[in-house]
Amino acid sequence: MAKCSVCGKSVLFGNAVSHSHRRSNKMFKPNVKRVNIQTETGNKRVYVCTSCLRSGKVQRAEVVKSAPVAAPAVEAAVETAPAETTEA
């Protein structure tokens, strides 16, 4: 299971209680995202919960989009054959 690398939030266990009070095991999972963050040494990809992202405890790394690479133009020579007609 993923764990927040900032606050340490991880999975909690408890009981799911139905209407008839029958109990079954339940896992409460944190909302954890895998994001690129800025560190002193550079960018790093870690798991961070959304509450840490919203509160500003983590600075996301800037996404650098490269220029699109143009594909070489390929001209396909398509020969069309004359349509055959059959007269009955």
Question: Taking the model in full, what pTM does it have?
Answer: 0.62
- Assign 50 to helix, strand or coil: helix
pLDDT of amino acid 18: 97
Phi, psi dihedrals of residue 16, rounded to the nearest 5°: -90, 120
What does the alpha-carbon distance between residue 45 and residue 20 come to, in Å, rounded to a whole number? 45
**Domain regions of the chain by residue span:** 12-55
The CATH architecture to which 12-55 belongs is Roll (2.30)
Closest CA to 37 of 11, 10, 56: 56
38-61 pLDDT, tens per residue?
888 889 999 999 999 999 999 898
pLDDT of amino acid 88: 60
Tens digit of pLDDT at every position of the chain (88 positions): 689 999 999 999 999 999 999 999 999 999 999 999 988 888 999 999 999 999 999 989 887 777 777 777 666 656 666 667 777 6
